[in-house]
A = this chain, B = another copy of it.
Amino acid sequence: MSNKNIGIKDVATAAGVSVTTVSHVLNEVAYARISPETRDKVRSAAEQLGYGPNRLAQALRTQRTGMLGLVSEDIATTPHAGRIILGAEEAAKARGYNLMIINTSGSASLESRRDDVEALLERRVDGILYATMYHRIVELPANLGSVPSVLVDSVAAGGNITAVIPDEEGGARTAVQALLAAGHRRIGFLNNTDDVPATRQRLHAFRTTLAEAGLDGGAAPVESEVSEVHGGYEAARRILSRDDRPTALFCYNDRMAMGAYRAAGELGLSIPADLSVVGFDDQELIAANLHPGLTTVALPHYEMGAWATEHLIDAVEGKTDLSLMALHPTILGCPLVTRDSIAAPLQ
């Protein structure tokens, strides 16, 4: 158990060598010529005394803290933030870094978010991850530019910062293709009403994927509501009341799909026999627990957190030039998670 009061000097004294030697053997400095016996003496003295390095002092001296700042919007408001944090934490740990986390509100002023970044800067983090709660275009505090930074799950208003985002179009295409592959031809889309990239891109992919399958994508039914359970319910009621009722529904997210389940139930439609449903997000609490289990498309939160961290560390260590990657956001795939809500249409 490391003893806070033991320093390199104590180890040196105990081993009967100088601090340089201790530093060299403990850090396994490449160019150091030290006899095996001395190495052993040092190591056992350190072990004996319960020596643990003081990372503050190391950092002060080397100008490297081995700490990454993570400013995260609304931690825990959704489980999504948690997945990003986990991906970042594990990637960081694997490379010997630690995470300092600051919560910020998505609706906070630019100035208060600037202060959050400032706090991280004062602690001399080697780099900063800035994670948003959902994919959008964010305005970033300017002091983010003081250290290598990467943006997770959003793109910057000004561009010019490396970002990683989900493949909204690809995910939507995957979802629709799953429905097409099951034989569906009358497919409806329950869309969100917010003006965010996902709304537009998923709609676009919905239409083009249908068109590519030889269907009239432009005419396919779309109903928009707030992207919550009740919105999904309302939209589903409407879309399922049409004369040419769809045999399958692509839902903007799992919450809306949950609403669609209820609407289907009320209309006497059994899933997946009478109606196939595919969601988006893979919010496990919902998707895995609905009955039948909801087939959906997963958002790569963990992967984005890990990707961002890997590349941030590469930049910190001079292995990568982030500015080269800043031109275009990196897009990570959204894989299909197959459960039990898709079947072939009846007729």
Contact = CB atoms under 8 A, between A and B. Distances in A.
A101 interface: yes
Given A1-B146, A124-B54, A289-B229, A93 B89 contact: no
A265 B291 CA distance: 12
Given A1-B142, A99-B100, 9 more contacts: A2-B122, A4-B121, A4-B146, A55-B122, A75-B82, A75-B85, A76-B79, A89-B101, A93-B102
Contacts of A124: 4, 54-56
A118 B4 CA distance: 11
A11 to B, nearest CB: 15
Nearest to A1: B143
A119 interface: yes
Interface of A: 1-4, 52-57, 59-60, 65, 67, 75-79, 81-83, 85-86, 89-90, 93, 98-103, 114, 118-119, 121-124, 142-143, 146-147, 228-229, 233, 255, 258, 262, 265, 283, 285-286, 289, 291
Q: Which 7 A-B pairs rank lowest in CB-CB distance, beginning with the nearest?
A: A76-B82, A229-B289, A1-B143, A89-B103, A285-B285, A55-B122, A76-B86
A263 to B, nearest CB: 10
A128 to B, nearest CB: 13
B56 A65 contact: yes
A231 B283 CA distance: 20
Contacts of A102: 89, 93, 98-99
Given A55-B122, A82-B75, A82-B79, A99 B101 contact: yes
A86 B103 contact: yes
A143 B262 CA distance: 52
B143 A2 contact: yes
A75 B76 CA distance: 10
A233 B289 CA distance: 11
B56 A123 contact: yes
A124 B78 CA distance: 31
B85 A76 contact: yes
Contacts of A90: 103
Contact of A60 (B3, B56, B143): B56
Given A75-B89, A89-B102, A285-B285, A55 B146 contact: no
